[in-house]
Structure 1
């Protein structure tokens, strides 16, 4: 089972005593995933086809509790072992069904959810929960952070963005194959949306994996940084040793200025030592203080002298 299915199953277990919020949730769910049925003499019904049994039971329970409409559920088995069962929930076209759909702002088909429905926090949460159950998806936390709502109606996509903004979440919209997708990409935004909708267990799972990913990425960055620094140290040491060998071909090292002579001897004694290690060795040998910048300056002087003897003798980065 996918992580998105786990989230939907958990949301379907979310309990609320707010009857109005339940209607908002059902309205958004059916708006995202349902289709209108037209009957005789102006009768109207609705049908929802879903592969998630929990979603079908969720919307059926809300309709039964709030309206007590004539409904039926058809289960169609998958064609092979990999195909999931499909659940078709039908609210038959009747006059009471039409009145219920009008109240849910699902009929007429161009009706929008009024802004006054979203005055309180629970209704806004129910709005997002219903939209996600109807046609939402979220990546497993081990992959890229991505949560999305998909709808065929651009005005409803814009309304989802406005509701997200009420929670300080900045959804983005893109058109994909004649559908409009509202998505969140940042990890903080995805976890906040899960919490708002009511998927607490999925949120904890997401956060645990996210923490492990962040720790692993931090360690990898540190290792890469240290590896790069070590490589720079090695390259510099090799270049400095080449400079000293060039100088030795053309003059005795003891003819160099004292400070440069001391630096050359230290580098030869510690061919792979870092600047700090050379400083420590210098202070222990000569009983004088020296800084890393000081020893680095002397080694660069040796390179400059070597280039005077052999202008192409060093591999300068």
Structure 2
């Protein structure tokens, strides 16, 4: 089919059967970007160049050139078709490809049959007729609006925005490293830090810092989606902060419990020394458990006992053992168990 000027392809919620499926953030960004109005011809040309560069495949057969593209949705393909027609009088054809092994959703394939003059005017081939491997010179050295348009076109072609969180990112899959570096340069002109990386055999441009992602969404024109992304980001950060506080609280409790168990084990060890053979057997059993399993909780000590005891029974026996030892120490005039809570004393003490 060829695109006409009707509005049947306006952005709408995706449906699966009769059930409406919630759009992902990536889909929302693309639908919003596809509606951005560009009064400047250079910006429209820059966006079209980026879409051709990042989603298109140039076929050269002798003196003949053609372009083929594949997009996630019809609104993006329609936008490019209108740009090419309005700017250069170039017609394109499209057809829908059903889900397959590489995609679970239908894709839109687009073709420009006579592309030689188009590629020359867009700067996608050099004067000597070789394909440009990065972005066209007029885009790289163009205005800020052109840099924004290049990013918009690249995102429409190959962009992904993930949900806010520790691994949130805005990524563009690039045809090769030179195109990725050119896009990083455009981001730098917008005051945004972007980096290149290679993942699963593909070059990518990645923006990870939350404020930078928000700023780039605004620069491209996805204002509504940026607000939604920021709301989700704030909720995510609040949730992470709450989890961190709980983890810190749990860690502090565990440290206090460990210190208390260690002190109790030290006191019990001193009690056994003070009482010697006079320790009642049932109290000695509880004391040996406390010394042997120094980091265990009272409940865990009870499970180690034979027969098993409740934690209250273990605690009661240890209390009676310490009380008996402290009374004996007072009678003998020697240090009691409290003085050994933090470890054995040196001989000099």
Q: TM-score, normalised by structure 2?
A: 0.66
Pairing partner for 1:33 from 55, 63, 82: 55
Aligned to 1:16: 38
Find the residue that maps to 2:344 and give its secondary structure: helix
User: Contact conserved, 1:145 with 1:190, CA < 8 A, in 2?
Assistant: no
Q: Deviations over 1:152-210 (max 9, x none)?
A: 22211111111122233332222345532121223233222222211112211211111
Aligned to 2:82: 61
CA RMSD of aligned residues (A): 3.1
Summarize the Cα distance change of 1:235–1:84 in structure 2 as closer, same or farther, 3 Å threshold: closer
Aligned to 2:158: 135
**Alpha-carbon shift at residue 60 of structure 1 (Å):** 0.8
Aligned to 2:15: none
Distance 1:229 1:70 in 2: 68
Find the residue that maps to 1:251 and give its secondary structure: helix
Pairing partner for 1:101 from 109, 112, 119: 119
Please tell me whether residue 251 in structure 1 is matched to residue 273 in structure 2: no
Distance 1:235 1:78 in 2: 57
Find the residue that maps to 2:204 and give its secondary structure: strand
Aligned to 2:92: 71
Size of the alignment, in residue pairs? 264
4+ long deviations beyond 6 Å: none
Summarize the Cα distance change of 1:200–1:254 in structure 2 as closer, same or farther, 3 Å threshold: farther
Aligned to 2:295: none
Distance 2:46 2:70 in 1: 19
Higher helix share: 1
**Alpha-carbon shift at residue 21 of structure 1 (Å):** 0.2
Find the residue that maps to 2:39 and give its secondary structure: coil
**Alpha-carbon shift at residue 19 of structure 1 (Å):** 1.6
**Alpha-carbon shift at residue 70 of structure 1 (Å):** 2.6
Q: How does 1:90-169 map to 2 (within 5 A)?
A: 90-93=111-114, 97-107=115-125, 108-111=129-132, 112-114=135-137, 118-141=141-164, 144-169=167-192
Residue ranges of structure 1 left out of the alignment (5+ in a row): 265-298, 310-317
Summarize the Cα distance change of 1:241–1:61 in structure 2 as closer, same or farther, 3 Å threshold: same
User: Contact conserved, 1:4 with 1:140, CA < 8 A, in 2?
Assistant: no
Q: Deviations over 1:231-285 (max 9, x none)?
A: 222333344445555455250299589xxx9xx9xxxxxxxxxxxxxxxxxxxxx
Distance 1:254 1:19 in 2: 100
Residue ranges of structure 2 left out of the alignment (5+ in a row): 1-22, 272-321
Summarize the Cα distance change of 1:253–1:142 in structure 2 as closer, same or farther, 3 Å threshold: farther
Distance 1:216 1:253 in 2: 57
Please tell me whether residue 188 in structure 1 is matched to residue 211 in structure 2: yes
